[in-house]
Amino acid sequence: MSKLIAIIKKNLKLLTRSTSSSLVMILGPLILIALVGVAFNTSSLYGVKLGVYCESYNELSNSLVQSLEDNQFKIIKVNSEAECTEKIKQGSLNICLKMPANMEISNEAKNTITFYIDKSRMNLVYAILDTISDKISQRSDQLSLELTNVLLTTITSAKDELSAKKLVVAEVSSTMVDSSSKLDVINKDFSSINLTSSSLNTTTSYNSFLNSANLSEDDKESLGDVVEKMQDVIDDLNVKLNTASTKIVTANTQIQTIKQSIDTSSPKIASISTAMDSILTSINAIKVTKAENIISPITTEIKTITLEKTHLNNLIPALMLLVLMFTTLLLSSTTTVEEKLSKAYFRNFITPTPQILFMLGTFLTNVLVVLVQFAIIFGALYYFLPLAPAQIGYALVLILLCAIVFTLLGMVIGYVLNSTETTTLASITIGSLILLFSNTIMPTEALPLAIRRFVDYSSFVIGESALKKVMLFNYGLDKALFEIYVLLAYATIFFVAIILIQQSTGRLYKLTKKFTRGKESHLDINKRLHPDEKAVATKVVKDKKEVISKRGLKIEHKLNPRVFFREHKLDLHIIKKK
């Protein structure tokens, strides 16, 4: 067990022997988690560019646009549907909405809002669609509530009108029943009068007959009795006529009463008719009577800006760039640091060959290895994905640029650090950081605007955008010039950084040579140094007086100069600054 503990201690000492290695192992994960926590500790989206197109805006469409405007969305109105989709492909817009012209709420209107989306950014698209759909649903629910209120108001008004006129209808009905009864009585009375009149007419006929007949006096006397009887009949008829006259007067009075009742009922009937007309007008004023339009006055549909393809088509740009980034970072950083740790590294410095040639050799070796890998990958993709030869050619050019950038970045890591383990850890940490601050895992729109300004120009984000334009949208390289210029700028910066690091390392070797020329005194060493280096040399000799005299030239051949300076507590930052 003691031996195992000793081995563990030895390994820990090897890992922590270098200050830079210790910092990478301890601070690397902490910085990574801290940055991710600060950047993604939110549930909102920032600066989402939302395109809106409508052939003819009106009050309803403008109200919908205003409901979408807030801190999350930046509304950009475009002039055509084609321009809207084109801006999505170029990355100027995140999503586009097409609204119907002259939107209105009616039975015939089809208020369908079309969303144009980029399926290669589904993590962002779904988040945006959820938010926008919620806002549109709120407006749709508000319109549905208004339509329902119109229906309920109309029904309530009709109910109140009918309830109010119910008593009037009852009064008119009662009046009509009473009038009908009176008319029945009058009808019966007048029927009896008609029969009496018939009898009267018969008696009158008998009198006319007696007057016109040529009868003797005896006969007339004999008929006197008959006449008297007839007189009785006439008197009786007169009585009946008087009675009929009285009934006629009564009937006339009743008729006048009925007329007054009818005259009184006429305004009531007119008011009922007016109420019915008002109810019909209110019902006819309802614009929307279809159930589906009342429930969902505004509907949505989703369309993609590219033809329907497999998920692999949408993932391939980010997937290829992910493989490229980690491959080049690890390969270039590892080969660089292994070359530094090799025994031939010092001999390379003292040869007349320019140091830039060694750097270019390492760089080209890594790039060639990566290009061979991706040539094989594209050869396989040609049989699985419908990619045109021109698309593959453009994609290879962009892959080459991205490989150059990440290879140079890996070489910077290799030149700065001194051990293979630390270099590998640093490469993975930096690659993970670049990956996390891209659109692959979380959309960059989830980052605060201050951080997003830098993340949008990340080499991974720029490279992915360029590959999408070429592989998904069938663009040429002329549409990706901005991304190409940014990648070239990154390559230039990393190349210059490598040159500066090499020059700094060369100065360190020259300074080491002055310390390792044999048994020289403190004063002799100071005489051989540049005035700016005397303070550093004095510190070395003061701390380790016997190191130079004991080791002599062996230091020059067996020790890495940076290790030499570290063992002698030489402040490397002072040397770099000098």
Tokens representing 76 are: 């950009």
The answer to whether 467 touches 317, Cβ cutoff 8 Å, is yes
pLDDT in the model for residue 547: 40
- Tell me the C-alpha distance between 365 and 349, whole Å: 20
Question: Using alpha carbons only, how large is the chain's radius of gyration in Å?
Answer: 54
- Tell me the C-alpha distance between 357 and 364, whole Å: 10
The residues pairing with 73 across neighbouring beta strands, listed in sequence order, are: 48
What's the gap between Cα 508 and its chain centre? 56
pLDDT in the model for residue 266: 66
Q: At what angle do helices 481-515 and 355-384 cross, to 10 degrees?
A: 150
pLDDT in the model for residue 410: 92
DSSP for 468-535 reads: HHHHTS---GGGGHHHHHHHHHHHHHHHHHHHHHHHHHHHHHHHHHHH-SSS--HHHHHHHS-GGGHH
In sequence order, the 6+-apart residues with CB closer than 8 A to the CB of 183 are 258
In sequence order, the 6+-apart residues with CB closer than 8 A to the CB of 79 are 53
pLDDT in the model for residue 510: 54
pLDDT in tens, 7-26: 777 776 766 666 666 666 66
- Return the closest-CA partner of residue 559 out of 509, 519, 518, 524: 509
- Tell me the C-alpha distance between 537 and 530, whole Å: 10
Could you say which residues of the chain have pLDDT below 70? 12, 14-28, 32, 35-44, 70-71, 107-108, 162, 164-173, 176-177, 179-227, 251, 254, 258-259, 261-266, 268-270, 272-273, 285-296, 307-311, 343-353, 505-578
In the numeric block, the tokens 């999503």 are attached to 95
pLDDT in the model for residue 187: 64
Beta strands 95-99 and 73-77 are unpaired
pLDDT in tens, 523-545: 344 444 444 444 544 444 444 44
